[in-house]
Structures are given as C-alpha cells and as structure tokens.
Structure 1
Amino acid sequence: MDSTRKYTAEAPPLQEVQQTRGPLVLEFGTSWCGHCRAAQPYINEAFTSGPDLPHHKIEDGKGRPLGRAFRVKQWPTLIFLRDGEEVERLVRPADSASITRAMARIEQN
C-alpha cells in the first residue's frame, strides 16, 4: 500500500472498520502536523519493506467521528487492527522497527 499519499478527509464509517476481516492499519494525522511529517519516513519505510496491509491515512481533527471513536489525542496515531479489534497503537512513532513489529502482529494473528 502506498503510504506516501496524503491524509484523506473521507474516513470509513466506524461500523465498516469494525466489520473488516483480517489486518487493517488506520493512521490519523494531518498534512500540516510537524509530528506527522517527521514520522513519514519511518511509516514509509515500514510499509515499503513490510507486509502489504490495508492502510488508511485519515485526516483527523475536531468533530471527526472515527478519530473520536478511537480516542485519538495526538498525531500521528497508528492503530493496528485485526478483524476489527485494536491489537496495537503507536503514537508519534520514532522508528520503522516498531511499526514493522506491529504490522507483523496483526498479520499473523
């Protein structure tokens, strides 16, 4: 999945996310967030070298229902799900290895 694309304002509905079978990664942030921009090299490296998993880059902010449903407080926040259930969460990742490990956890469960 191409993790270099921009955050999208169109998020899937919570019910759809909860009903997703298999692995799924939700990345919450914004294009103007300095922490989000700083984490992109790590996120890109993990998604380029790791397993090919579904990955949604979702623009977050006040009143965005999906981010509120997952209680996102800081950006970027990566939520790793398996069969609609949260397995792991990384907030402001500082390396690609932690992202790759989380990806492996949801892929193998």
Structure 2
Amino acid sequence: MSVTLILILVVVVALVVLITVNYFRMKNAKPVANSKQIKVLNNKNFKAATKRGVALVDFWAPWCAPCKIIAPVVNEIADTQNEFMVAKVNVDHNQQLAQKFKVRNIPTMLILKDGKEAGRIVGVKTKKAILKEVESVMAS
C-alpha cells in the first residue's frame, strides 16, 4: 500500500469515529430546558405570558446541535436573574409561533417588551452578549 492510501484510510477512520462519538453524545444529551426558572411557552400560552414586561424567548428544537450548545447559557441566565422572564419555544411543536415571528434559523432568541419584538439574537452567543442585548431593551 502506498503512503497516500494509508493516510486517506486513517483520515476516513478518524472521521467515522468522531461522527459516531458526537452522534451518541448528542443522542444522550440532557434536556434543553432544565432550569426551573424557564417557562415553556406554546401556541396557547405565549401571548398571555409575554404581554407584560421583558422576556427572552429561546426558539429551539431537540435535534438542533447549536440549541444544545446554547442551552446551558440560557439556563444560567434564567437561574441568576429575576428582572425579566426567560422562556423556551420548541419550534417542532409550535410552528405557528415560529412562522409568526419569522424564525428561520435556530437557535433564535427574541427579546420581547410588552408582547412586541424589541430585539433578536440568532445563533450561539455568549452570556455577556445576550445580557447586553436584553439590558439594552430594558433600558429603552
């Protein structure tokens, strides 16, 4: 066998191992909303829950790897503050809400003020960046 062929074989095996490990890690991941402070919103309770005050609403799906990455950050925000509501919406179960707010990528976090969208964060961000956006909305 040539050195090139051996190298290709090693790379392919390494990729298969990485993909397999990540698959089982994601499959066995902890629930996305495991903070007691996070409200789970749906098509029925969304309007009433967000009509007053400021809310950080995380639109997510169980199959979404970036959603699982950002979940501990959202949980920490919910557990360490009480000035605004932190909530989650499963887009697979609440497609009407995702369509209403034009959520095309997940995770997407909406910052609502008295029921109206006042800010939007798309993708994985740091706790500091998320809080900065929420504080900006609260100050306005």
Please indicate the TM-score interval, normalised by the length of the shorter structure.
0.7 to 0.9
State the shift of 1:81 in Å: 0.8
SS in structure 2 opposite 1:44? helix
Provide, for residues 53-74 of structure 1, a one-character-per-residue CA deviation record: whole Å limited to 9, x for no partner: 2222111048710110000011
**Greater Rg over alpha carbons, structure:** 2
State the shift of 1:49 in Å: 3.3
Q: After the TM superposition, which segments of 4 or more aligned residues of structure 1 sit over 4 Å from their partners? A: 5-9
1:104 aligns with 2:121: no
Moved more, 86-95 or 38-47: 38-47
State the shift of 1:19 in Å: 6.8
1:80 aligns with 2:83: no
Q: Under a length normalisation based on structure 2, what TM-score does the superposition of the two structures give?
A: 0.61
1:33–1:19 CA distance, 2 compared to 1 (3 A) = closer
Q: Determine if contact 2:106/2:123 at 8 Å carries over to the other structure.
A: yes
Q: Under a length normalisation based on structure 1, what TM-score does the superposition of the two structures give?
A: 0.75
Q: Determine if contact 1:80/1:89 at 8 Å carries over to the other structure.
A: yes
Distance 1:21 1:103 in 2: 15
Letter in 2 for 1:32: W
Letter in 2 for 1:20: K
Q: Determine if contact 2:39/2:86 at 8 Å carries over to the other structure.
A: no
Gaps of 5+ in 2: 1-32
More helix by share: 2
Gaps of 5+ in 1: none
1:43 aligns with 2:74: yes
Provide, for residues 30-69 of structure 1, a one-character-per-residue CA deviation record: whole Å limited to 9, x for no partner: 1221010111232233333344422221110487101100
Identity among equivalent pairs (%): 21
1:45–1:83 CA distance, 2 compared to 1 (3 A) = same
Q: Determine if contact 2:110/2:117 at 8 Å carries over to the other structure.
A: yes
SS in structure 1 opposite 2:71? helix
Q: CA RMSD in A?
A: 2.9
1:52–1:34 CA distance, 2 compared to 1 (3 A) = same
Candidates 68, 82, 93, aligned match of 2:99: 68
State the shift of 1:17 in Å: 5.6
